[in-house]
Amino acid sequence: MLKKIGKIMGIYAVIYLVCSVIFVGLFHTPILKGLEVLMYRGIVFILMSGVLAATAMFLCKKKWQELFDFKDVILMFLGFCCVNMVLFTLIPVTVERSVSVFTLSYMAENPKVYTVEEMEDIFNEKYVQEFEAFDKRFKEQIVSGNVGETEEGYIINDRGKATVKFFRVIGSLFNTDERLVYPNENSIDAQKEVIGESEK
């Protein structure tokens, strides 16, 4: 019995590891290179690799019918996608977007004593201006369909407003910094009044 369980777990592990290597390797290919948003490109690659993992499990099911059935194929796909989605958003996406990553990396490449004011100036000059951080994030919102273009410029659309509502719900649930979802101080105060009225 233990030998059978070990074999099943071993096959699951091999398929997961091989397909995870393929998933990482896809980022070094020209596939979807035109898709500038790392998050979206990664999601597509996770689904592609998940399908490959499910296919591998299906082949194992055909070879070892006494060990696997169709639910293992589904479990392999869901498990692979879920685990790698968490790891992908937690690590690579954070590295690509994080202010902390930039700050620590800059200090590591230029080791000396800095004041907070010096680091703020460096952040604005390099991260915001030279690396065009704002332009990149704003383009992501256009690609995501949250912002629409008009003759005068850009405006948030219904999809964008729904996205903001979702962010505010998540922020409320996990008690995040309110200023990020309510950038105006009066917006925060008004929201607290609404919550206070609803609790009466």
List beta partners, residue 155: 148
Single-letter amino acid code for the residue at 125:
E
Residues 6, 83: one domain? yes
List all residues 6 or more positions away from 165 whose beta carbon is below 8 Å from its beta carbon. none
Residues 159, 199: one domain? yes
Indicate the pLDDT class of residue 190, thresholds 50, 70 and 90: low
pLDDT average, residue stretch 120-144: 93
Indicate the pLDDT class of residue 4, thresholds 50, 70 and 90: confident
Q: Beta-carbon neighbour count of residue 45 at 10 Å?
A: 21
Indicate the pLDDT class of residue 187, thresholds 50, 70 and 90: low
Q: In the chain, how many domains are there?
A: 3
pLDDT value of residue 2: 80
pLDDT value of residue 119: 96
Range of the domain at 166: 145-200
- What percent of the chain is predicted at pLDDT more than 90? 74
CB 156 within 8 A of CB 146: yes
Q: Report the run of H or E that residue 147 belongs to, with start and end.
A: strand 147-149
Residues 127, 190: one domain? no
Residues 80, 13: one domain? yes
pLDDT at 15 over 90: yes
**Summary mean pLDDT of the chain:** 90
Indicate the pLDDT class of residue 86, thresholds 50, 70 and 90: very high
Q: Report the run of H or E that residue 145 belongs to, with start and end.
A: none
pLDDT average, residue stretch 125-151: 92
Q: Are strands 147-149 and 154-156 parallel, antiparallel or unpaired?
A: antiparallel
Residues 25, 84: one domain? yes
pLDDT value of residue 189: 59
pLDDT value of residue 56: 97
